[in-house]
Amino acid sequence: MGTRYLDDRRREAPVVIYLLNLLLFLLPFLAYAIWRRYNPQAEPDPRIVVLGLIGIGLGLAAATWYGLSVSMDRDTVYIPAYLDEHGRIVPGRAEPRR
């Protein structure tokens, strides 16, 4: 009986995480829409627009750099984590292809 409750919670948790991620993604757009609604004649300061574009560019550059720095070589295979014969966790790793 108790494990069923835990299983139900495990199934629901990813949905909540996805909804939270979606909310955090949409929050700046919502804030801008509210600002435009209550200030229809006001234009955003050009310095703010430039700073926003610089931030977006830096974020894309950082994501690209990270993706390239942690990628594996083409001749490697990822071995996922597993339990050895003594019950210890062996961490995942990349090994050369055989």
DSSP designation for 18: H
Q: Is 6 helix (H, G, I), strand (E, B) or coil?
A: helix
- Give residue 71's pLDDT: 78
What share of residues in the chain are helix, strand, coil (percent, to 5)?
Answer: 60, 10, 25
The full DSSP string for 28-53 is HHHHHHHHHHH-TT----HHHHHHHH
User: Which two structure tokens, joined as six digits, stand for 79?
Assistant: 């071995």
- Cβ–Cβ < 8 Å for 79, 93: yes
User: Model-level pTM?
Assistant: 0.51
- Model confidence pLDDT, tens digit, residues 36-64: 899 888 888 899 999 999 999 999 999 99
Q: Give the residue, 15 or 3, on which the prediction is more confident.
A: 15
User: ∠ CA 66-52-70 to the nearest 5 degrees?
Assistant: 0
- Model confidence pLDDT, tens digit, residues 65-97: 998 888 788 889 999 999 999 999 999 998 988
